[in-house]
Structure formats: C-alpha cells, structure tokens
Structure 1
Amino acid sequence: MSLLTPLGGLPYPQATDTANVPLHMQSLAEAVDGRTVLRFADAATRDAKVTAPVAGMLAWLTSPGRLFHHTGTQWHPVVPGPVHKANSTTGNTASATYVETLAASTGDPTAVTFTAPPSGSVLVQLGARISSNGAASGLMSANIRTGTTLTLAAADTRAAIVSGTNQSSASTQFQVSGLAAGAVCTATAAYKSSTTANTATFVYRFLTVTPLT
C-alpha cells in the first residue's frame, strides 16, 4: 500500500509493494494533476473538466487571460483588479430622473462588468465634465446590477454634481457592499438634470470599479 507525503498527501510506494512502476507513476500523476496550475480556454471549458473543484485549486483561463483560484465555494480571480471604462463623447439629457443613455452621444451605456470579490464589497468611482444650459445642476451616478437585477439604484447622494453653465470636472466615489461573492455584476453610469427646464451636458465620462478585500 502506498504511503502519503506529510504535507501534500502525495502517494509513494513502500518497499513491500508489488513492483509496478506504471501504476505507481499513474497514482502520483493523478494526485499531482489537481495541484498544478490548470489551463483552459475559458470558464465553460474549465467547469466541464473540473466537475468537483476543491479549495486551493488554480486555473488559468486564456479568456479573459486571468488566473483563478477556488475558494471552496466558487472560482475567483487570484488578484482581482479594478475595471475601468471611459467615454470621451459628449451627451446630454433634460430628464429629471436618472437615465443610462444620453442624447447626441455614442458608446452609451457606459458600463463595466465585474465579479464580486469574496468580501462582497467594491469601490465605485465615477466622474465627468458637466455643465447645464441654465441654473440647473447636472448629476452623474451609477446603477449597480447583479445579473439583470438592480442591486443599488443611482441616487443624488452617490452622484458627481455640477451646477450652472460653466463646464466643470466633478467626481465621486462610494462603496457597494452585500454583493454575492462570485456573482457577475455590472455598474452602469446614469445621468440626470435637476430640472426638465434645463439640459445637462456630460463629456469625458469615466467609471471604475475596484474590488475591496
């Protein structure tokens, strides 16, 4: 009967075992197989091959080109980094409720997709050059969704705000907590004018989501 190494639990034969080099090498190879960095084309290929992952497994996915580890409940990027989207086009709205698409703009909606970290918390940062054609204010916030479900709606308390006709740069940041670890989420920029009597204009918009540990 093979013995196991004290740290990795890898099998090796005893002197009294029947000599069978191929069998002993196969046992060792199978034990090591799940402990190396596995390589797959994408998550679907990984999940089809690794049907019973365990905590500590590592897998490299060619798409999206990231290293993942298994926490015991789900696969998660080893080093989750910020995701960022910028839109330099000019757009405007006279809506007094938040909208995700601006008139006269291209590239909307401005959104980023991210995987919720084990902490379930992320930092959202956003901003733009904002102005109005009157005394009103232009506000930029963000909607947070888990899948297609709205998790946190855009709000004035989480908005970059500029008042008046002079174009000014404004930004804000806020923390989103309580996200399901491993869930695929989306942050989408949302805009409004403080009154329908005036049009708010937005240019050089950006949106960044940073996972928090």
Structure 2
Amino acid sequence: MSKTTPLGNLPYPQPTDLADIPVHLQSLAEAVDGRTVLRFADAATRDARVTSPVAGMVAWLDNPGRLFHYAAGHWAQVTPAPVLRANYDGGSTVSTTYTETLSDALGDPMATAFTAPVSGKVIVTVGAYMFATAAAGAPGIPVCYMAANIRQGTTVTLAAADERAASAGGPTRASATTQFLVTGLTPGGAYTATPCYRASAATTTANYDNRFVRVDPA
C-alpha cells in the first residue's frame, strides 16, 4: 500500500507494492494536479473544470489576465487591485440631505463596482474640489459635504454620513478628501460605492468638481 509524504500528502509506493509504474505515476500526478498553478481561459472554464475547489488552490485566468486563489468559499485575486472612478464634470446641489446626482453634471450617479475581498473589508476614499455660493451656519461649519453610499445589489449596507464625509467651508475653493473603513462585507460579494453630496443649508449652493471615488481592499 502506498504511503504519503508528511507535508503534502503525496503518495509514493512501497517495496511491497505491485511494480505498476503507470499506476504509481498516475496517483502522484493526480495528487499534484490540484496543487499546481492551474491555467484556464476564463472563470467559466475554470468553474466547469474545478467543480469542488478547496482552500489554497491557485488558478491563472487568461481573461482578465490575473492570478486567483480559492479562500473563504470563493475565488479571489491573489493581489486585489483598487478600483478608481473619476468625474471631471462639475455640478451643484442645494439639497440638505445626501443626493447621488448633482445638477448640471454628466455621469451621475458615479456607482463604482467592486468585489469584496477575502477580509470582508475595504477602504473607501472620496474627494472633490468644493466651494459654496455663500457661507452658511456658524463660523467653521462646513457648507459642502461629500460622502458615499455602499450597496450590495439595491440594498444600502452603509449609508452616507457626515462623520464619513469630506467637507469644505464657504466661497473659498478647496480640495477636500476623506477615507473610511467598511467592514462586514461578504467575501466575493458584488458591491458599489456611490458618491453623494449635500449642502449644510438650502439657502446656499454647494459646488463640486474633479470628483473621484476609490475602493482599496483592506
């Protein structure tokens, strides 16, 4: 009866085994097969071939030309890449509640798709060039706010809030940005991060230009 190596559990024959070299080589090849870097044309081909993946498997996909590993019940990029979306078309709002669409702006809402990493955590960064038509509120109180809604499908899992917003004061133009950590995401789940905006008072107009949102795996 063949024995196995102590670390990789790879089979090898014993002196008492039948001298059937093809069978022994086949046993070794099948044991090694799932431990190599697998190569497939795309995810559909991989999933059709690897019907019962196990944690630690590694596969290269020609499309999109990236390396994936199997962990936490799904295939994930070995080195997840950040997702960035920018919009250089300016717009404005007088809404005092968060809105995802600015007046006179093209390309809104800026829903930015990302896949949750194995950790279930991402860092979201939003920023813009902001200014208001007039100051509002007490001195030092921001007039322009920019945050983001996080959705899984159509469900908002983390709503925009001032404590996670980039903000700027009155008529003086300012470049503002902020980062915040999002946790509790489903590994491999499809999500979107959508920038949203509000003014601190309906009597002033909050303006935004050179807007961007970036999502980094954490």
* TM-score, normalised via structure 1 length: 0.88
Code of the aligned partner of 1:143? N
Partner SS for 1:64: coil
Counterpart among 198, 205, 213 of residue 207 in structure 1: 213
1:36-92 deviation digits (Å, cap 9, x = unpaired): 111223333322221111111111233333322122522222222322222222122
Q: Which residue of 1 aligns with 2:134?
A: 134
Structure 1 counterpart of 2:174, which letter?
A: S
SS of match in other structure, 1:208: strand
Counterpart contact for 2:115–2:188, Cα < 8 Å: yes
Equivalent residue, structure 2, for 1:191: 197
Does residue 167 (structure 1) correspond to residue 173 (structure 2)? The answer is: yes
* Structure 2 letter corresponding to 1:183: G
State the superposition RMSD in angstroms.
2.0
> Are 1:57 and 2:37 counterparts?
no
- Equivalent residue runs for 1:38-117 within 5 Å: 38-117=38-117
Distance 1:146 1:62 in 2: 28
1:9 matched residue in structure 2: 9
The structure 2 residue matched to 1:152, chosen from 158, 161, 172, is 158
Unmatched 5+ stretches in structure 2: 137-142
Letter in 1 for 2:77: P
Q: Report deviation, 1:98.
A: 1.5
Amino acid paired to 1:35: R
Shift of 1:143: 0.3
TM-score (norm 2): 0.86
Consecutive unaligned residues in structure 1, runs of 5 or more: none
Identity of aligned residues (%): 58
- C-alpha distance in structure 2 between counterparts of 1:199 and 1:166, whole Å: 13
Q: How many residues align?
A: 212
Question: Residue type matched to 2:21 in 1?
Answer: V
Q: Is the 8 A contact 2:72 2:187 kept in 1?
A: no
Per-residue CA deviation, residues 147-194 of structure 1 (Å, 9 max, x unaligned), is 332100111121111221222111111111222223222111111222
Task: Supply the distance in 1 between the matched residues of 2:64 and 2:197 (Cα, whole angstroms).
Answer: 30
Query: Is contact 1:128–1:204 with CA below 8 Å preserved after alignment?
Result: yes
Q: How many Å separate the matches in 2 of 1:43 and 1:147?
A: 21
